[in-house]
Structure 1
Amino acid sequence: MPNALEISSITVVASAADDDSAARDRPITGNDLETLGVSDNFLAASGFEAKIGQAALLPEQSPLVIAIGLGTDELSAADIRTAASALWRACAQLESVTTLLPLIAAPALGAEVALQAVIEGLLLASYRFDELKGAPEATSQLNQVTLVAPDGVDGDLVLARAGATAEAIALTRDLVNRPGGSLTATQLADEAVAVGESSGLEVELWDRERLAKEGCGGILGVNAGSSEEPRLVRLTWRPEGESRATLHLVGKGITFDTGGLNLKTFEGMKEMKIDMGGAAAVIGAMKAIAAHSPDVTVIGTCCCTDNQPGPTATKPGDVLHIRNGKTVEVLNTDAEGRLVLADGLSLATEDQPDLIIDLATLTGACLVALGQKYAGLMGNDEQAISRVQTAARQAGERVWHLPLPTEYRKQLDSQTADLSNIGSGRFGGTLIAGLFLQEFVGDTPWVHLDIAGPVTTDEIEGEFTKGATGFGVRTLLEIATGW
């Protein structure tokens, strides 16, 4: 696993009376700074204000005591993950630490939620991607973490759930962090199949021949210039008892996007290994969902290919035949993600699910509009939109509802085909892309998440390290388990 802290290093106890750890923490709110017993000069010099994510080593304490900020507002699970992450970074070079975070946060969040948040924060803050380094550096000496939780909490159960969630998010980060040369479409599909088989999911794999037989012209059109075969993977979780609903997840899996014949610039292309972030989130979510065993059916579809400018590549002006029978004039080969999703969404509607959610690093326009911390959310059903918004808020993942203006639909009109893959105007590219996708879901409740921004981060912040974030996994898991 890519997490430096192993789940086996974490112990849950109800009391720290006999603890002999090298360090202990002191979780504290911004309203209680005076109770730390340190001088104003120390607080000023350290910059410690007890904000969420702050940590400070208190002077002249044996064993060591590390103050952990809890802010001044009502606590959320995301806040506790951030606080636990700060503890990890402060203690990474120590051998052991005992934390009261689960105990302190329990009244606000509930004992199990608080404990799970602490475990996930510790594990995910320790994530590193070093599988391609010749000599990976040691990142931590910490091999024993003792968590003090309220008496009566099932520590083993919470450890298992938190470990499964952190492992799924770490897997998603790994997939997004891998270069396109190390993760082709077939390799991404193989990763999905391996997850399905190890998690007890139903697995279905479509190769190029099967995609052609099934009429998936969007995926095949994007793949036309590549020497690598495309793949479509379907993973299905079915509960043992009666299923209360069916949820279908669809992920864009462009393992590297050159732009095709509408070739990207160097600046536009250098980060395009991340263009399969939607499929990675679906794979990670399916792994986590299987571990949590919700009483709903969940299907995850990953549409996998790269987008290359080979001699047989789709040309601007070519027309593709999508699975649902509609035809698309390709006016820009760099608007390829919506083409593979068109097939994936068409297939998803055939299952008649209660909700379809697609995730895609779809438009640079969304990144321009919302920045790197928010995903754009669009949909055709207010109840479905509200459900995803609520789940994202509970998961601590930021989304922002954007409209699908009917008056913009005419920009997708084509004289040659049923519609074109880009709009005729310069502006509103994220909304135009959403309107395009809406053409392939019919009346099925559907939500689209454009995760171009939050799929990666340039900062070490909270539970995140630089690189892939694993965005989307928590929200999808929250929807499945909270239905």
Structure 2
Amino acid sequence: MQKHTLMESTPHIEIKHTTQATNKGVYVLYYPSINESADPIVKALQFYFKSKELIKDINSGKSAKIYALNDDDPFEYVIIQNATSPRLDGANLARKASNKIATQKVEENSISVLLPHNYTIHDIAEFSFGFQLANYRWTYQSIKEGSKSSSFPIHYLNLITSISQEDYLNQVEQKWNLKYLHHLVKPILRLRELVPTRPNIANTEFMKNYILDIVKEYGDKITSTLIEGDDLLGAGLRLIHAVGRGSIHKPFYSCLSYKGNADSDKYYALVGKGVVFDCGGLSIKNTSSMEQMYDDKGGACTVLETFRAVVQLGLPINVVCSTAWVENSIGPDSYRVSDVIQSYKGLTVEILNTDAEGRLILADAMSYAQDKFAIYEMIELSTLTGIIKNALGRYCGVFTNRKGCYSLLQKVEKITKESFWPLPLEDQHRELIKGSVADINNSSSGRVGASAAAAFLECFVEKKVRWMHWDIANVAVTDKNDGIYTKGGTGFGVMSLIYYMTWDVVSKELKEQKQENEDDDN
């Protein structure tokens, strides 16, 4: 197998808070809403600018302009950019600066940014978060054995601000919201790197070792179960075994658990679909539909990195991470259309389409978690249906058995900026998957595909369990740079899952922060 090194655990970018620039180029954020004549940043800079058209150019909407400075000024040039919000400001500056470095082959891979004088610690955290995510590039170009697939054009970011690095880091560790912005960058970037890793590298053996490394890293903080190959049959995980048995790469199931709240026996279950590549099996896809199937493991990768972040941050919640890993391939022992297979729960399933494999492995993964743990709420993520892309664009489709789940998710998305959209799950959809030979069918023959798939999954949710199904097929990867996203994996879902599971704690801090901001404005 080709050797491949994913992102190192060391920081990918060093951020320093300084009171002056350490390199010649300085980026300046400018807010048009600030009174131009009273803005101390603009007033200070005007002294140095030879051009007298500074304010006029900024107000005309020019996003960036290079001005020559006086000979005795320590800055060689200043780039002015109109600002909107801290997170997007960071993303836009990172993209602008890294593109400059890439196109001009600048040897100096650091930049200085003069932040607005009224930036709070939260604003700085948002800016840094956006900057780091937009500074990421995923590529296999000229890759050598053992080399890394990702790159970060900018290695050093100097923030010119009155808030010292020590004060910033102290406050970051005291509040959950700041802590998330500071610490979730790395798991999101790991997810961005993992999802598009090609199947000749990230096969089931690779993913098994990836999970075992997590188990080794956190030791007695977590418990783990891993069932592989034919042992899946003995464990009752027959659907996972059936889907994966056609490949030379063994299927396996992984269940990780973490108990951060010793006073409660209730768990969140994060369930993910880990299809390392999907050719459709005997119901084979055409070539164009197969091209992006390296990302069919996106759901499992997302819940895995979210679980790792939960443990690393020591969050006061109990979480189970239940993932099923297969390659849906063609071989002498591939499962067939018309096969009837008994699930872990006991329900029998008739196979009408071997390309509707994701719901099969999820069914067993969902049932196993609920059987072994007292699950209070289960959130399942999967790149499940292609039709979701046509229906929702850049929204994640959400199905749920409790309206309250989606109501809370709406509050979360206002903070995380990850977009969701509710989709219907009704009796008309449940009728589509009812079986005549088995209890249920795994396909609705293309009718109402996304809702029918959710209806299938709902059969494996116990009555008292709150449940959401996130269909992330349209948001797991992107083919263009947009906001904080760069081409490749998006890292979608990690922040929303973390905020959702800890909303009781985070929402109190957000209310306090809002009140502080209002007091400052008065």
TM-score strictly above 0.5: yes
Residue 67 (str. 1) matches residue 75 (str. 2): no
Aligned-residue offset at 1:83: 4.3
Residue 330 (str. 1) matches residue 351 (str. 2): yes
Give the secondary-structure state (helix, strand or coil) at the position aligned to 2:195: helix
CA distance in 2 between partners of 1:405 and 1:209 (Å): 37
- What corresponds to 2:210 in structure 1? 191
Aligned-residue offset at 1:356: 0.4
- What corresponds to 2:459 in structure 1? 439
Residue 115 (str. 1) matches residue 120 (str. 2): no
The 8 Å contact of residues 98 and 153 in structure 2, kept in 1 or not, is answered as: no
CA distance in 2 between partners of 1:193 and 1:319 (Å): 33
Q: Which of 367, 377, 382 lines up with 1:360 in the alignment?
A: 382
Residue 97 (str. 1) matches residue 111 (str. 2): yes
The 8 Å contact of residues 276 and 327 in structure 2, kept in 1 or not, is answered as: yes
Residue 140 (str. 1) matches residue 149 (str. 2): no
Alignment of 1:4-23 (within 5 A): 6=11, 9-13=14-18, 16=19, 18-23=20-25
Q: Which moved more, 1:126-135 or 1:316-325?
A: 126-135
Give the secondary-structure state (helix, strand or coil) at the position aligned to 1:59: strand
Give the TM-score normalised by structure 2. Answer: 0.80
Q: Identity of aligned pairs, percent?
A: 26
- What corresponds to 1:267 in structure 2? 288
Give the secondary-structure state (helix, strand or coil) at the position aligned to 2:397: strand
Give the secondary-structure state (helix, strand or coil) at the position aligned to 1:446: strand
Q: Which of 182, 187, 197 lines up with 1:168 in the alignment?
A: 187
The 8 Å contact of residues 374 and 453 in structure 1, kept in 2 or not, is answered as: yes
- What corresponds to 1:27 in structure 2? 29
Q: Which moved more, 1:259-268 or 1:469-478?
A: 469-478
Deviations 1:176-196 (A, max 9, x none): 111111111121122122123
CA distance in 1 between partners of 2:162 and 2:265 (Å): 33
Residue 85 (str. 1) matches residue 94 (str. 2): yes
CA distance in 1 between partners of 2:230 and 2:400 (Å): 32
Deviations 1:197-242 (A, max 9, x none): 3244333211124321221121111112111111111222222653
The 8 Å contact of residues 4 and 126 in structure 1, kept in 2 or not, is answered as: no
Structure 1 residues 348 and 147: CA distance shift in structure 2, 3 A: farther
CA distance in 2 between partners of 1:477 and 1:306 (Å): 29
Unaligned runs of 5+ in 1: none
Structure 1 residues 349 and 69: CA distance shift in structure 2, 3 A: farther
CA distance in 1 between partners of 2:392 and 2:295 (Å): 18
The 8 Å contact of residues 253 and 303 in structure 1, kept in 2 or not, is answered as: yes
Give the secondary-structure state (helix, strand or coil) at the position aligned to 1:179: coil
- What corresponds to 1:344 in structure 2? 365
The 8 Å contact of residues 29 and 116 in structure 2, kept in 1 or not, is answered as: no
Aligned-residue offset at 1:147: 5.3
Residues paired across the two proteins, number: 464
- Match of 2:82, as an amino acid? G
Unaligned runs of 5+ in 2: 1-5, 70-74, 174-178, 505-522
Aligned-residue offset at 1:131: 5.7
Aligned-residue offset at 1:86: 4.1
CA distance in 2 between partners of 1:4 and 1:132 (Å): 22
Structure 1 residues 88 and 386: CA distance shift in structure 2, 3 A: farther
The 8 Å contact of residues 251 and 279 in structure 1, kept in 2 or not, is answered as: yes
CA distance in 2 between partners of 1:380 and 1:387 (Å): 13
The 8 Å contact of residues 270 and 380 in structure 2, kept in 1 or not, is answered as: yes
Alignment of 1:414-425 (within 5 A): 414-424=435-445
Q: Which of 374, 396, 401 lines up with 1:375 in the alignment?
A: 396
CA distance in 1 between partners of 2:185 and 2:410 (Å): 22
Aligned-residue offset at 1:299: 1.2
- Match of 2:132, as an amino acid? L
CA distance in 2 between partners of 1:147 and 1:210 (Å): 58
Structure 1 residues 370 and 382: CA distance shift in structure 2, 3 A: same
Give the secondary-structure state (helix, strand or coil) at the position aligned to 1:204: strand
- What corresponds to 2:231 in structure 1? 210
CA distance in 2 between partners of 1:41 and 1:117 (Å): 27
Aligned-residue offset at 1:126: 2.2
Give the secondary-structure state (helix, strand or coil) at the position aligned to 1:302: strand
- Match of 1:182, as an amino acid? I
Aligned-residue offset at 1:163: 5.4
Residue 427 (str. 1) matches residue 432 (str. 2): no
Aligned-residue offset at 1:393: 3.1
The 8 Å contact of residues 102 and 149 in structure 1, kept in 2 or not, is answered as: no
- Match of 1:69, as an amino acid? N
- What corresponds to 1:313 in structure 2? 334
* Higher Rg of the two aligned structures: 2
Structure 1 residues 345 and 322: CA distance shift in structure 2, 3 A: same
Question: Pairwise CA RMSD of aligned residues?
Answer: 3.1
Give the secondary-structure state (helix, strand or coil) at the position aligned to 1:328: strand
Q: Which of 58, 61, 75 lines up with 2:66 in the alignment?
A: 58
